[in-house]
Amino acid sequence: MITAPTPANEDDRLSALRQLLILDTPPEERFDRIAAFAADEFDVPIAVVSLVDSDRTWFKSHCGMEACEAPRDISFCGHAILSDEPLIVPDALLDPRFVDNPHVAHEPHVRFYAGACLKLPSGQNVGTLCLFDFKPREMDRVALAILGTLRDLVVEQLLINSAPP
């Protein structure tokens, strides 16, 4: 397993994340609806709105799983926030970053991951809208466009009632 490096702008990124005033808040239907729609649209068992904190990935919404957070050092999302482009992992067993990741090697046996960065207007990538499956798969341009649109909806919701990032 390869742990994601810390972004060069980590302090600014964490500051922008905290200004959203959303970490550790209760579930909200507005995020849950987007995650549920993403799970249905892409026919995946798990869809998550994740926020990457300093040492954990916290899930504002998690459709298809019980966990509310995961350690950042084993999270797929920690890798996804490093780029503005979606991170697509067609088969985690074939990717050296994830092949022996506990979520791949053990329950829930993740094989596919797609994560679209939640980029704030200030330029900070604070989390992802992500999809997980237990079998390998691909995403075409149409699917990536849909994921991007849903990601944009999540960012809009993050910015509602938040402190200016």
Q: pTM of the entire structure?
A: 0.94
Q: Distances from the Cα of 106 to the Cαs of 59, 65, 90, 98, 103, in angstroms?
A: 20, 15, 18, 12, 6
pLDDT at 12: 96
Query: Cα separation of 140 and 40, whole Å?
Result: 17
Q: Which whole number is the average pLDDT over 59-82?
A: 95
Q: What is the DSSP letter of 25?
A: P
Minimal CA–CA distance to 87: which of 45, 41, 127? 127
Max alpha carbon distance in the chain (Å)? 41
Q: How confident is the model at residue 165 (pLDDT cuts 50, 70, 90)?
A: very low
pLDDT in tens, 39-66: 999 999 999 999 999 999 999 999 999 9
